[in-house]
Structure 1
Amino acid sequence: MFPELPSHWMALQALLRNILGHPVMLAGGALRDLYAGKLALTKDLDFWVDLHPSNRVLLKNVLEDQGWRPAKGCVLDYTDSLLSARGIRAIDWWVTPSGHEVNLIWVQSAHPSDLIASFDFGINQAVFDGDNWFTSEEFVQDHSKKTITLIRVTESVKRLQNRIDRMLLKFPEYRLEFDWESLRQGAAAGR
């Protein structure tokens, strides 16, 4: 039912798992694109990692020794935001020596069910733990019905608009399964 992951994705996941000594989850947009047959449109890989501060420093040192470089010159730490409410504590952007963009998303819990429950769009609710796929009912329904269902708002309206626009460019055959204009107007009115 689920497609096989590209070997370089599996290799990156195994590398991160081996460095950290605990599971690393691949989740979100890359799996969405792969499942929908749009692998060529995948921009980056999101790996979700349990936050252990010493592991973050260890991983940074090992990746830099292996030729990885920080992307966009940015490392984000979240303390008070919608992302923090989702359990996200930090995001590190990296580029591998082969040019792949990798986001390391440091969370309180990288358990597949916790990750799926935190995702905002049904179409994105997929996790691969290195051996198995985990998806929500909404993920399967969105792909079978060619819809994009908003499950919860997890970020600013401006960022949400940008993400919706990008998804509609990738998936022009899909339709929004929510009233975007009402949502935007409500946010503008402070509701």
Structure 2
Amino acid sequence: MATITLSDVNNDGVGVDLASYLADFDANFTRGSYGFFSETAADFGGDQYAFSESSASTVSGTPSTSDSVVIGSGSAGDFSYSLTSHTLNGTLDSVSFGEGLSYASSTDSFTQSVTDVAITGLGLSGSGTGNAVHTLIYDLMGGSTSVLLNTLNAQNNTIIGSSGADTINSFNGNDTLTGGAGSDLFVF
């Protein structure tokens, strides 16, 4: 069961329209580089994988306004990239959409300057060609949320609204929708 948390990061009261946000990602996101694993730059693995629209070759070169995605493995394990099979393997628990990207070596983790949509509890794992982790990450890298939406439609989810006036869409499961402080619209 995934939990989706929306954030009205600029506190303007407008909130987040979840379906429109993901559709905008699909229409406008273009990855600028191959991305980064949370371990040292020379490694092809880590607890997190992140990428942005910036073509910066280092995390520190990523502008704070560049759209970004941070994918986490959670406590279950980490990601690894196989150079021989060209696949991503491991476990995938979370996806965060936002802006900016920074890395803290002390915690071995990425942070975004702004996180608009945070999804946790995805519970995916796999190895080898065509596995669920590989498929979801590559779909997002290509600027598409279709595999993520299919994953969310296949399970029960909890969607938590922001402090703004959100439009919160349910998926195909037995979802729980919770509004925040704004005048929210629930779409079933």
TM-score under structure 2 length normalisation: 0.30
Q: Which has the higher helix share?
A: 1
Q: Which has the higher strand share?
A: 2
